[in-house]
Chain A
């Protein structure tokens, strides 16, 4: 599959020949523990260009989030190289990893807001951790970040438990942009939201890319949103990304695997509603 040929800038994130297998213990019928393994990537390659929004689509449990976690060193590949801003993430020392994590923000699927902290402390967490900003400056930056995601700064004193699902996602988004990162990784940002909030999150992703010039990698199952926010779409299939192209090319693709996935068709069930 191929799109328009343009001179591409060097990738900001690049996967080269990445293999990742998970092993877990499982009891067999005789009650003896056995090791079970599941390979999610086999010599996988993928690159993310600076300033673009790349959306990763694929079946549940196939390892889309694993891909994001490898980008910031939360998981390491068994084999191959993950390069972010021209650095091999697996070979970084703690200081190098911290530097990468300051410039690559991660928006977790459930928000992963700290329950015991209010919105101010959640959004200001990285600012307190990595900057010498004074308290009033932190409050200003938190207010600014909340406004960028369409939330009132008056929410600052609220605990996450008092927020709705959509608000939690947006606070998580505000937390990720508080440090003004170069890259934002969105792990299923619309899961569990109503259509209005899904549209709102989609608009936020486009707005943040436009206003802050960030590179975005979005993992989602939401096809309309993938089409709306993406510059390119990568489809995870058989432990790799064999299909990467523009949304237009992907949506008009005649490749059965791509077409069936995007349009939600189940093979061999023709005629079944």
Chain B
């Protein structure tokens, strides 16, 4: 009975969380696009989240490309098919690994940053102060962050795709003797427009989720500094789970 009650509570809180997220999403879409758009705030957030995430995105993508190329080349070597390395790594990298792993790492970092910042603002009453000064906290705080995350993540994924290609190329050339030019040609030949589209769409949806989760957790932080820590941890978990689940459904749609 106790286990059943706990299970029921978990289901209820999950539904409540999703309802809260949906409400925040609708409110953001309703008030955000109204004039003024808040371009300055969006640009500031894009620098904060996107530009400052470039080093980690580059590092991650390079190693994702190198690791995948190494593993595939190792398997292909047994069949004397290492020259097919570009062909076999391209779809996995562009359609799945780069957008998903960047969302799980860079996206979680973005979301945790948003949750910590907005959570601190919540506990120090700065969010109430925005409202008390006659501004809408959703418009001033949530909208710029959600837009910045939604735009930044696909841009980072596009950059990450190039870097991952370079990573694969490096391993192919130096470790397995696959000429870089040949790797590039076979890599690009294998990709169809749908693969690029799926990469961008996935990264955009992951970005939207990252923005909404980070803001939702931040503005719903309870009282006290301990709550900011709890909220930030919960954000990383929620972002990872939501990205993986969304990735599954998006993969079903595209493949």
Q: Which residues of A contact B (CB under 8 A)?
A: 30-33, 69, 72, 74, 94, 98, 101-102, 105-106, 108-110, 112-115, 125-126, 129-130, 175
- Cβ-based interface call for B131 (8 A): yes
Residues of chain B with a CB closer than 8 A to A130's CB:
134
Within the complex, what minimum Cβ distance (angstroms) separates B228 from chain A?
A: 13
Q: A30-B2, A32-B2, A32-B5 are in contact. Are A129 and B133 (CB under 8 A)?
A: yes
Assembled-state Cα–Cα distance A210/B136 (Å): 32
B:110-158 near A, CB below 8 Å: 120-121, 124-126, 128-129, 131-136
Assembled-state Cα–Cα distance A175/B124 (Å): 16
Within the complex, what minimum Cβ distance (angstroms) separates A100 from chain B?
A: 8
Within the complex, what minimum Cβ distance (angstroms) separates B80 from chain A?
A: 59
Within the complex, what minimum Cβ distance (angstroms) separates B217 from chain A?
A: 17
Residues of B in contact, count (CB < 8 Å): 17
**CB-CB nearest in chain B for A103:** B134
- Cβ-based interface call for B9 (8 A): yes
Assembled-state Cα–Cα distance A268/B206 (Å): 62
Q: A110-B125, A112-B124 are in contact. Are A74 and B132 (CB under 8 A)?
A: yes
27 residue pairs of the A-B complex, CB under 8 angstroms, read: A31-B2, A32-B2, A32-B5, A32-B6, A69-B128, A72-B132, A94-B136, A101-B131, A101-B132, A101-B133, A101-B134, A102-B134, A105-B132, A106-B128, A106-B129, A108-B125, A108-B132, A109-B125, A110-B124, A110-B125, A113-B129, A114-B121, A114-B129, A115-B120, A126-B133, A126-B134, A126-B135
Q: A32-B2, A32-B5, A33-B9 are in contact. Are A98 and B134 (CB under 8 A)?
A: yes
Within the complex, what minimum Cβ distance (angstroms) separates B61 from chain A?
A: 30
Within the complex, what minimum Cβ distance (angstroms) separates A68 from chain B?
A: 10
Assembled-state Cα–Cα distance A106/B134 (Å): 11
Cross-chain contact B132 with A106 (CB below 8 angstroms)? yes
A31 in complex: contacting residue of B6, B134, B135, B136, CB < 8 Å: B6
Residues of chain B with a CB closer than 8 A to A125's CB:
133, 135
Cross-chain contact A108 with B129 (CB below 8 angstroms)? yes
Within the complex, what minimum Cβ distance (angstroms) separates B48 from chain A?
A: 10
Residues of chain B with a CB closer than 8 A to A101's CB:
131-134
Residues of chain B with a CB closer than 8 A to A129's CB:
133-135
Residues of chain B with a CB closer than 8 A to A69's CB:
128
B:7-55 near A, CB below 8 Å: 9
Assembled-state Cα–Cα distance A32/B9 (Å): 8
B126 in complex: contacting residue of A33, A105, A112, A126, CB < 8 Å: A112
Closest 9 CB pairs of A and B: A112-B129, A101-B134, A106-B132, A112-B125, A126-B133, A98-B134, A108-B125, A112-B126, A129-B135
Residues of chain A with a CB closer than 8 A to B124's CB:
110, 112, 115
Residues of chain B with a CB closer than 8 A to A115's CB:
120-121, 124, 126
- 13 further A-B contacts with Cβ under 8 Å, apart from A30-B2, A110-B124, are A32-B5, A72-B132, A101-B131, A102-B134, A106-B128, A106-B132, A108-B128, A108-B132, A112-B126, A112-B129, A114-B129, A115-B120, A175-B133
Within the complex, what minimum Cβ distance (angstroms) separates B124 from chain A?
A: 6
Assembled-state Cα–Cα distance A98/B134 (Å): 5
Assembled-state Cα–Cα distance A98/B31 (Å): 14
Residues of chain A with a CB closer than 8 A to B129's CB:
106, 108, 112-114
Within the complex, what minimum Cβ distance (angstroms) separates A31 from chain B?
A: 7
Cross-chain contact B128 with A74 (CB below 8 angstroms)? yes
Assembled-state Cα–Cα distance A105/B128 (Å): 12
Assembled-state Cα–Cα distance A113/B125 (Å): 9
Assembled-state Cα–Cα distance A112/B133 (Å): 11
**CB-CB nearest in chain B for A125:** B133
A114 in complex: contacting residue of B2, B5, B126, B136, CB < 8 Å: B126
Assembled-state Cα–Cα distance A196/B124 (Å): 25
Within the complex, what minimum Cβ distance (angstroms) separates B206 from chain A?
A: 26
Assembled-state Cα–Cα distance A32/B120 (Å): 29
Cross-chain contact A74 with B5 (CB below 8 angstroms)? no
Within the complex, what minimum Cβ distance (angstroms) separates A60 from chain B?
A: 14
Q: A32-B5, A32-B6, A32-B9 are in contact. Are A112 and B128 (CB under 8 A)?
A: yes
**CB-CB nearest in chain A for B125:** A112
Residues of chain A with a CB closer than 8 A to B135's CB:
125-126, 129
Residue of A69, A112, A115, A126 with most chain B CB atoms under a 10 A cut-off: A112
